[in-house]
Structure formats: structure tokens, C-alpha cells
């Protein structure tokens, strides 16, 4: 039996989290992807499971272990992630989109390994197509779910996050600054929690601690909705 967190304040709640990168194949041996360790999404899953939530992670390929008692739906591409999310989302009370989804994918996946010399034209000009925006699709389709997204920005962090809040019809965007060794693969982060009502800055702390703060804020949005 797993032990509930101190409060068990998420008991019976259904939470879906997207996590990790997506990978988009060029050919059987190559792909394009985004930087992502999966730590942010998996930390949220661990914290929520401790608080009693039923957690499903829709996860791109990561090296971190799934927390005990959490359901993991493994996916590779953004389109696979969208399809998996679309199945889980309707049953959710809270959905957190922490995945680093590749915005673009190779338009055509070669069925054979592209070879130097023979396939130079294809190798030097990989045409890209746009992937579905999973958060935006779910944000605009949501009913009672509280929807939380992330925004990794190199500049104008809060204004850019607010644009995403509106464009994707999310209830909250967790914004952080990236670049210059910040955020990716690190143990901690500094965030801004951006909602319709304003933005709250949370100073640098470990991802495990941030997870509980983000969940507290999401719970307050859920209660505000009732």
C-alpha cells in the first residue's frame, strides 16, 4: 500500500500530465526532438500521487522512472501524444501539459536509412510540417477540467506566457526562463504562475517543492470554479 501525503487533499481526483520530449523520425535511425529530461512532469506526478490523486502520465521517451502507482502511457511523436491525451482528457479533473512537444516534424518519414552520397538531396533539405498543438486543442475543447500549461521562454517571460494563456484557453501557465544553462535537466527552477488574475513569482527551488506549489495553485483554481 502506498502512503497518502500529509493531507491526501487530491484523493479521488483524476490528473493527467504530459511529460518529456516528443521525437519525430526522419528515417529509421534519425529523429528531431526537444531538450527535455521529463523531470518537471514526473515531479508533478510524484507529488500528486502522494496527495492521493489518480495520475496518468502521457510520456515521451525519458530516462526517469515512473513513480509508484502512476499509470504511464508511452508515446513517441506529437501526433501519438495528441491521440493518447484525447482519450484520457475527458475523464480528467486537472490536466497539466508539461511535455516539450516538438513544434515541427519531418513532413515525410523515409522508410529506409538515408545514405550519404545517395540521399544527399533529401538529407540537406528536410521539409518540416507543423505538429498539432495539444494544449491548445484540449484548452479549447475543455469542459470542467482545469488546464495548466508551461511556457519556456528566453525573454519577456511573463508577457509571452500570458499570450499563451489566452491563445490556448488555459487556466494557468507556468512560465520559466530557459537558455544559458537554465531549466533544462536541472534539479530546480524559478517560475511565474500566470493566470487571468495576475502572476505570482516563485523563487528558485527544487522541482519537487515547486510541484506542490503548482498543485496548490491548481487546486485553488479548481475550487474557484465550483
Catalytically active residues are 34
Q: Are 215 and 10 in contact (CB under 8 A)?
A: yes
Number of other residues whose CB lies within 10 A of the CB of residue 12: 9
Shortest Å, Cβ 34 to Ca ion: 8
Does 31 help bind ligand CTP (rule: CB under 6 A)?
A: no
- 103 known member of a binding site: yes
- 168 known member of a binding site: yes
User: In whole angstroms, what is the distance from residue 24 CA to residue 128 CA?
Assistant: 10
Query: Interface residues with Ca ion (CB under 5 A)?
Result: 103
User: In whole angstroms, what is the distance from residue 218 CA to residue 222 CA?
Assistant: 6
Number of other residues whose CB lies within 10 A of the CB of residue 13: 19
Does 152 help bind ligand CTP (rule: CB under 6 A)?
A: yes
Residues 167-226 binding ligand CTP (CB under 6 A) are: none
Q: Are 210 and 193 in contact (CB under 8 A)?
A: no
- 164 known member of a binding site: yes
Does 99 help bind ligand CTP (rule: CB under 6 A)?
A: yes
Q: Which residues carry a binding-site annotation for CTP?
A: 103, 113, 132-135, 150, 164, 168
Q: Please report, as ranges, the residues that interact with ligand CTP according to CB under 6 A.
A: 18, 78, 97, 99, 101, 103, 131-135, 149-152, 164
Amino acid at each position: 500500500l502506498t502512503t497518502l501525503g500529509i493531507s491526501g487533499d487530491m484523493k479521488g481526483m483524476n490528473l493527467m500530465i504530459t511529460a518529456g520530449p516528443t521525437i519525430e523520425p526522419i528515417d529509421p535511425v534519425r529523429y528531431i526532438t526537444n531538450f527535455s529530461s521529463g523531470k518537471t512532469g514526473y515531479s508533478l506526478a510524484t507529488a500528486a500521487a502522494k496527495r492521493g490523486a489518480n495520475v496518468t502520465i502521457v510520456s515521451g521517451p525519458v530516462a526517469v522512472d515512473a513513480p509508484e502507482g502512476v499509470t504511464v502511457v508511452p508515446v513517441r511523436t506529437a501526433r501519438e501524444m495528441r491521440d493518447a491525451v484525447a482519450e484520457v482528457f475527458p475523464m480528467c479533473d486537472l490536466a497539466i501539459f508539461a511535455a516539450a512537444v516538438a513544434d515541427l516534424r519531418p513532413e515525410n518519414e523515409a522508410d529506409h536509412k538515408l545514405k550519404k552520397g545517395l540521399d544527399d538531396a533529401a538529407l540537406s533539405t528536410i521539409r518540416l510540417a507543423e505538429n498539432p498543438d495539444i494544449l491548445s486543442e484540449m484548452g479549447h475543447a475543455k469542459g470542467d477540467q482545469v488546464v495548466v500549461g508551461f511556457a519556456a521562454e528566453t525573454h519577456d517571460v511573463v508577457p509571452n506566457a500570458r499570450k499563451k494563456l489566452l491563445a490556448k484557453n488555459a487556466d494557468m501557465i507556468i512560465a520559466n526562463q530557459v537558455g544559458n544553462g537554465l531549466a533544462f535537466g536541472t534539479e530546480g527552477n524559478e517560475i511565474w504562475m500566470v493566470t487571468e488574475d495576475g502572476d505570482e513569482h516563485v523563487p528558485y527551488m527544487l522541482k519537487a517543492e515547486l510541484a506542490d506549489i503548482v498543485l496548490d495553485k491548481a487546486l485553488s483554481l479548481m475550487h474557484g470554479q465550483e
